[in-house]
Amino acid sequence: MNKTEKVQVAKVDTTSGEYEFHVLDGTLGPSVIDISSLYGDTGQFTYDPGFTSTASCESKITYIDGEKGILLYRGYPIDQLAEQSNFIETAYLLLNGELPSLNDYEEFERAITNHTMVHEQLRNFYYGFRSDAHPMAIMCGVVGALSAFYHDSTDINDPYQRMVAGRRLIAKMPTIAAMAFKFSLGQPFVYPDNELDYTANFLNMCFALPALKHKVSPTLARALDKIFILHADHEQNASTSTVRLASSSGANPFAAIAAGIACLWGPAHGGANEAALNMLMEIGTADKIPEFIKRAKDKNDPFRLMGFGHRVYKNYDPRAKVMQQTCHEVLAELGIKDDPLLEVALELEKIALNDDYFVEKQLYPNIDFYSGITLKAMGFPTTMFTALFALARTVGWVAQWNEMIEDPSQRIGRPRQLYTGYAERTYKKRSER
């Protein structure tokens, strides 16, 4: 961390006067005031519910400029990676910090391909679920159970074991997600096919049938690969912070990633893609949009426009732009001319972006607004949308997990609180109450 010479006096309202704290400058974005000594110096905590003004760590992986709508993976703009790279190469970049040479790329791709199968007994976990179990419930359970199968890669202090665990997780998530999808359909699981690349293999495991030779569309595989790139990492979002916090206790990587999956499932986070599509289906036709816009603005109505708004982006989410283009590509490839959901989404976006409420609160479409239409057109049910998000985000979680463990300044995460409960009081017998 570059401790600058500049020292900023932070005015802390305490009886013992003013205190000086170092200001740390990063490469891009806001500088930070290092307040790690605040409690020791003043006996006071900071208070920041939702961490709107708190940097939890130093990171070199992903940079977001919310005002300008910029997203960089290790310095590369997301639209350049989406257009020119692929998910496996982007995974290598996020994990290692540099784009791979041809040899490194081939070695990494081969390693991932050779880890795609899961232990045969893991299949039994699926049969313990009801057939209508939500795929994310299955993903939470099955990914957490991986630590019962891969003891040889759970020592987080061994860089080699961390590398093996990370590659296993990245390689097996498509297999685990596809198995959850097949289980929900009552169809047999499809084994990975090492002749196919990462994303084509996933589509094959989802849509191939014993009775039907399945040919994966290269256009759809490319489109989904782009979607995985868009979802791969996103700074210290809720699920990534969950993975970091779970790992800070020394928990094994499989358990930590399972915790991230659980957090991602929430409709305010990764579950928004499922909620956004369900909302578009509920709206149904463009003439119903004003009624939903009205509800979204009504403080007494818990309804929110799903797929809109973001804690960081106060401009258009750069991923949403690529997502919208990909949506058009997929619909064209599938020969879907006038998708009613896309019509509603485009009209809803147009109306919202010209409505004072959304303009004033800087609410723009986020990555989840168009992803659902695309994934539904590809044949995925809404319940699989967040599982696909988790599949892609596993790369970011693994990269951030490794960075945290290698950071000498990181310790177990243990926030404090503002206590407003009872002061000490004496227990009374039930007969005396």
Q: What residues are annotated to the active site?
A: 310, 368
Q: Which of 90, 365, 397 minimizes the C-alpha distance to 234?
A: 397
Kindly give, in sequence order, each residue whose CB lies less than 8 Å from that of residue 117, ignoring residues fewer than 6 positions away: 172, 175, 191, 192
How far apart are CB 190 and ligand SDX at their closest, in Å? 29
- Answer for which of 305, 344, 388, 392 binds ligand SDX (CB under 6 A) is 305
Query: Which residue's structure tokens are 């868009």?
Result: 230
Q: Does 28 bind ligand SDX (CB under 6 A)?
A: no
If one asks whether residue 138 binds ligand SDX (CB under 6 A), the answer comes out as no
User: How far are the Cα atoms of 37, 117, 192, 231, 338 from residue 227, in angstroms, in the given order?
Assistant: 42, 23, 20, 6, 22
Rounded-to-integer distance, Cα 130 and Cα 4, Å = 57
Kindly state whether residue 272 participates in binding ligand SDX, applying the rule CB under 6 A: yes
Among 108, 125, 308, 364, binds ligand SDX (CB under 6 A): 308
Interaction of residue 59 with ligand SDX, rule CB under 6 A: no
> Does 229 contact ligand SDX by CB under 6 A?
no
In the complex, the smallest distance separating the C-beta of residue 235 from ligand SDX, rounded to whole angstroms, is: 6
Measured distance CA(270)–CA(231) in Å, rounded: 10
x/- track of binding to ligand SDX for residues 311-340 (CB under 6 A): xx----------------------------
Note whether 197 binds ligand SDX by CB under 6 A.
no
CB nearer ligand SDX, residue 100 or residue 307: 307
Q: In angstroms, give the least distance from the CB of 163 to ligand SDX.
A: 24
Closer residue to ligand SDX, CB minimum distance, 22 or 376: 376
- Edge-to-edge strand order for the sheet containing 62-65? 62-65, 70-73, 76-77
Residue 349 interacts with ligand SDX (CB under 6 A): yes or no = no
Quick check: 182 binds ligand SDX (CB under 6 A)?
no
Nearer to ligand SDX, 268 or 336 (CB): 268
Binder of ligand SDX out of 147, 241, 366, 400 (CB under 6 A) = 366
Under the binding rule (CB under 6 A), the answer on residue 232 touching ligand SDX is: no
Q: Are 176 and 118 in contact (CB under 8 A)?
A: yes
Please report how close the Cβ of residue 103 comes to ligand SDX at its closest, in angstroms.
32
Buried b (16+ CB within 10 A) or exposed e, 254-286: bbbbbbbbbbbbebebbbbbbbbbebbeebeeb
Q: Could you say whether residue 368 binds ligand SDX (CB under 6 A)?
A: yes
Calpha distance 59→61 (Å, rounded): 6
Q: How far is the CB of 281 from ligand SDX (least distance, A)?
A: 16
Exposure b/e, 356-390, CB count within 10 A at least 16 = b: eebeeeebbbbbbbbbbbbbbbbebebbbbbbbbb
- Between residues 17 and 49, which has the closer beta carbon with respect to ligand SDX? 49
Residue from 299, 312, 298, 306 nearest 365 by CA: 306
* Contact between 234 and ligand SDX per CB under 6 A: yes
Q: Report the candidate in 220, 225, 217 with the shortest Cα–Cα distance to residue 87.
A: 225
Footprint of ligand SDX on this chain (CB under 6 A)? Answer: 50, 234, 237-238, 268-270, 272, 296, 304-312, 361, 363, 366-368
